[in-house]
Structure 1
């Protein structure tokens, strides 16, 4: 059984990304992790992106309704791929005495990568299960290859896979 970090970070699982690779399966697996964190009374922090293409309060901006989100779960809104950039994310982590993070969500090569690299640089210990991010096919790689490529970069450099 995979161990838990001190907080689960769910990045950008918004309706705008509902057609990304394996989105529905990923939500099911994220909800399984959420259940483990709830059982252990550990915080779950949802990160929600907002910019000129993903406008606050629009339907596509909303977090997926299929996520097991409760009213008292923390939500951090960001305007940059890096969840720490000009947000209160780090303040929330410090207030909750969180030093280890489990990361999951979207998009692998953008918001997940930027947040993982920054968190590592700030000294947080990171864990992740394989295939817990999603993205779209692009002009260079299919989504599965992008996920594998970034997991290879992250492994043992920025985080530990369970």
Structure 2
């Protein structure tokens, strides 16, 4: 079993992103990590985005029904790609003495990247497994290449891959 951090951050695995690359397989992989964190009695924090294009309380805003989420899991709502920006995420982590986090979710080049860069800047140690984020094809790269590109940037600079 791969090493666990002190908390698992599941970023924006919402219905609006259900057609992103490999979404269903990613849900299964995230659920496996959630299971491991639950067995170790470690916190799982779900990050949930809303803005003018993704209205709060809309169906597409909801987290995927396929996620293994429990009522006592923490949810942090955000309106910016960076999950620390104008949220209580840092307070939640500090109040629980968390210094290492594992990140997974969507979208690789937006919310995952912004959160990883900020977490690193705040002094958190970040671990990840490969291919634990998703995105869409864009005008420059297919989703697989975008994920690989960002994992290469993150590797050993911001993230320790296992």
Alignment TM-score > 0.5, same fold: yes
Aligned residues: 162
Show the counterpart of 1:80. 80
- What is the TM-score of this pair, normalised by structure 1? 1.00
Is 2:148 the partner of 1:151? Answer: no
Show the counterpart of 1:25. 25
- What is the TM-score of this pair, normalised by structure 2? 1.00
1:112 CA displacement? 0.1
Give secondary structure in 2 for the equivalent of 1:61. coil
1:95 CA displacement? 0.8
**Superposition pairs of residues 43-122 of structure 1, within 5 angstroms:** 43-122=43-122
The runs of at least 4 aligned residues of structure 1 exceeding 6 Å deviation read none
- Cα RMSD of the aligned pairs, angstroms, is 0.3
Measure, in 1, the Cα distance between the counterparts of 2:159 and 2:124.
9
Structure 1 runs not aligned, ≥5 long: none
1:155 CA displacement? 0.1
Show the counterpart of 1:3. 3
